[in-house]
């Protein structure tokens, strides 16, 4: 019988090499992956190997060709996405779980931290004490799980078990035009249909208009349909706008409709005293989501759903009993970690096999605590506000939407230039290719905006200032004007006070 060819040990040896290479990558002194793509593609783009090359040769290829040609996303100047590079402890905890607890099952320390860290998150983000959580792969699945609970609740109210018997009749989900596209996808996957999502108008700042919601609810009151949920945003992905949660939640309760708050990006903003009053009404929510792989600095692949009644999740998503999984022992009678599977998270969502995500969140919060996360959020929000202040003061810049959280939507302006959208698109593409500052763009009230989102633990105030300097320099070059004076831009005040 052939022996196993895969190396299953010697982690200390290989992690030293890997850690050295990753630390060099994190200096961000290397060229972009597209600088000489033929070099690494020649090594990586090969046929399926009939015979392996062994772990040492694989490590050689990883350190020479794979890691140095990785993503620009961890770069502190990359502000394009609402995900970022993991912090050190988040990456280490992920690796620890991959080796020591590859599933979130059984009565071990990793399984214990699933629930412990969810309770910490709920307390940190000021959720109602009764709310219980579940980890999933990110905000899209977190929204799906939350709306699955809403669907279960809504149809049970009219005497139907949708998880068992299917959806019957028309349904309605109410969400603003600024809601994340995962809301429509969740409606499709849950059998409600994308057309079940009714779009509610927003104001000039991208916030749902409660009066428009109420008018729609009144129109639908006597229709033969099941109202499933009202979805509000606690920080939109486009601009960081926070819907008026108090007014929307009050309406949802008055009409006896599930109230869901999508806080995948923006919910941690509640820790910033400058904006925390905007979260009034969060206590009315029946479900809330947040992504630790955004502001908390976890590796991508961790979202969290919180609901008032986790039994609804079990009724909505249970896979029912499997003959090969014994559940007879309780935690009180167990004498071995495999005497029980622990809390049945696999019955609360769509994943059966899932990593131990709770240990990652636990490690992140143990490292910096609530105070460290609050300081990070305040720093990033202040950066967006200060960028807006500098843009207000400069004749060649324009703020298209006032920052609420850590997103600032602004653009370069020149009265003589015929197409400002095209100009700013050109500036943005030049920024990306220069590689020092990589924001995204969005459209605000019909106008193209340059959109940095300050989020990563490595991102500090100098990135905001340098981004503006580069936008001004590029704008001046593309409009044939003189290079702007960026030396008198002032300094950012101490944002930790």
pLDDT tens by residue, 456-477: 999 999 999 999 999 999 999 9
Report the candidate in 403, 380, 379 with the shortest Cα–Cα distance to residue 495. 379
Q: Is 411 exposed, middle or buried (0-12, 13-18, 19+ CB in 10 A)?
A: buried
Instruction: Grade residue 332 by pLDDT with cuts at 50, 70 and 90.
Output: confident
Domains of the chain: 89-365 (3.40.640.10), 369-478 (3.90.1150.10)
Query: pLDDT at residue 487 above 80?
Result: no
Helix (H, G, I), strand (E, B) or coil at 221: coil
Q: Could you give the CA distance from residue 295 to residue 265 in angstroms, rounded to a whole number?
A: 7
Q: Given this model, what pLDDT does residue 452 score? A: 97
Query: Going edge to edge, which strands form the sheet with 225-233?
Result: 132-136, 303-307, 287-290, 258-262, 225-233, 170-176, 197-200
Report the candidate in 247, 98, 271 with the shortest Cα–Cα distance to residue 230. 247
Q: Which of 98-107, 286-295, 306-315 has the lowest mean pLDDT?
A: 98-107
Q: Given this model, what pLDDT does residue 396 score? A: 97
Q: Is 60 exposed, middle or buried (0-12, 13-18, 19+ CB in 10 A)?
A: middle
- Average pLDDT, integer, range 240-260: 98
Q: Given this model, what pLDDT does residue 327 score? A: 55
Q: Given this model, what pLDDT does residue 488 score? A: 39
Query: pLDDT at residue 485 above 70?
Result: no
Query: pLDDT at residue 93 above 70?
Result: yes
Instruction: Grade residue 480 by pLDDT with cuts at 50, 70 and 90.
Output: confident
Query: pLDDT at residue 266 above 70?
Result: yes
Q: Given this model, what pLDDT does residue 336 score? A: 85
Query: pLDDT at residue 371 above 90?
Result: yes
- Average pLDDT, integer, range 161-182: 92
Top pLDDT among 390 and 320 is at: 390
- Average pLDDT, integer, range 31-56: 94
- Average pLDDT, integer, range 398-410: 97
Instruction: Grade residue 338 by pLDDT with cuts at 50, 70 and 90.
Output: confident
- Average pLDDT, integer, range 210-220: 96
- Average pLDDT, integer, range 37-53: 95
3-state SS string for 384-422: HHHHHHHHHHCCCEEEEECCCCCECEEEECCCCCCCHHH
Query: pLDDT at residue 497 above 70?
Result: no
Q: What is the mean pLDDT of the chain?
A: 92
The reported pTM is 0.92
Q: Given this model, what pLDDT does residue 220 score? A: 93
Q: Given this model, what pLDDT does residue 106 score? A: 82
Q: Given this model, what pLDDT does residue 484 score? A: 45
Among residues of the chain, what percentage have pLDDT more than 70? Answer: 94
- Average pLDDT, integer, range 293-321: 93
Q: Given this model, what pLDDT does residue 483 score? A: 46
Top pLDDT among 328 and 210 is at: 210
* Helices and strands, counts by H and E, the chain: 14, 11
Q: Which of 10-19, 360-369, 416-425, 484-493 has the lowest mean pLDDT?
A: 484-493
Q: Given this model, what pLDDT does residue 486 score? A: 42
Report the candidate in 415, 418, 459 with the shortest Cα–Cα distance to residue 439. 459
Q: Given this model, what pLDDT does residue 329 score? A: 59
Query: pLDDT at residue 492 above 70?
Result: no
Instruction: Grade residue 333 by pLDDT with cuts at 50, 70 and 90.
Output: confident
- Average pLDDT, integer, range 348-364: 94
């Amino acid at each position: 019988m052939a022996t196993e060819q895969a190396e299953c040990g010697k982690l200390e040896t290989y992690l030293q090499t890997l850690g050295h290479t990753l630390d060099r990558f994190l200096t961000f002194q290397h060229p972009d992956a597209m600088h000489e793509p033929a070099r690494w593609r020649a090594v990586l783009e090969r046929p399926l190997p009939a015979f392996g090359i062994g772990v040492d040769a694989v490590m050689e290829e990883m350190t020479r060709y794979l890691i140095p040609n990785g993503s620009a996303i961890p770069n502190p100047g990359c502000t394009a996405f609402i995900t970022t590079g993991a912090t050190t402890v988040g990456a280490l905890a992920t690796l620890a779980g991959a080796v020591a607890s590859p599933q979130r099952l059984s009565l071990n320390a990793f399984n214990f931290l699933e629930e412990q860290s969810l309770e910490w998150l709920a307390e940190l983000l000021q959720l109602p004490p009764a709310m219980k959580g579940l980890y999933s792969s990110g905000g899209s699945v977190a929204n799906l799980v939350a709306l699955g609970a809403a669907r279960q609740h809504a149809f049970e109210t009219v005497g139907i078990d949708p998880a068992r018997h299917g959806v019957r009749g028309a349904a309605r989900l109410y969400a603003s035009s600024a809601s994340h596209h995962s809301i429509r996808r969740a409606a499709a996957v849950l059998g409600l249909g994308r057309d079940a999502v009714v779009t509610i108008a927003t104001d000039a700042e991208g916030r749902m208009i409660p009066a428009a919601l109420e008018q729609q609810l009144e129109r639908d009151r006597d229709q033969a349909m099941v109202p499933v949920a009202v979805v509000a945003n606690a920080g939109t992905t486009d601009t960081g706008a926070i819907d008026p949660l108090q007014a929307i939640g009050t309406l949802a309760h008055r009409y006896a409709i599930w109230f869901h708050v999508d806080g995948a990006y923006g919910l941690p903003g509640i820790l910033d005293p400058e904006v925390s009053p905007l979260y009034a009404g969060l206590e009315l929510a029946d479900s809330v989501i947040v992504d630790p792989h955004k502001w908390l600095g976890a590796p991508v692949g961790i979202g969290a759903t919180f609901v008032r009644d986790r039994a609804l999740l079990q009724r909505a998503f249970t896979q029912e009993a499997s003959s090969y999984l014994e559940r007879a022992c309780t935690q009180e009678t167990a004498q071995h970690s495999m005497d029980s599977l622990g809390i049945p998270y696999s019955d609360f969502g769509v994943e059966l096999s899932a990593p131990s995500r709770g240990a990652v969140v636990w490690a992140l919060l143990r490292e910096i605590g609530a105070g460290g996360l609050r300081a990070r959020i305040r720093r990033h929000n202040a950066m967006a506000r200060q960028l807006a202040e500098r843009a207000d003061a400069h004749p060649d810049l324009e703020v298209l939407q006032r920052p609420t959280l850590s997103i600032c939507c602004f653009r370069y302006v020149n009265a003589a230039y015929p197409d400002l959208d095209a100009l700013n698109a050109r500036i943005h593409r030049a920024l990306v290719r220069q590689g020092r500052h990589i924001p995204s763009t969005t459209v605000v009230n019909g106008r193209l905006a340059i959109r940095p989102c300050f989020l990563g633990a490595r991102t500090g105030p100098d990135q905001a200032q340098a981004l503006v300097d580069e936008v001004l320099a590029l704008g001046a070059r593309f409009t044939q004007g003189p290079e702007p004076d960026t030396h008198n831009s002032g300094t950012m005040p101490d944002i930790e006070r």
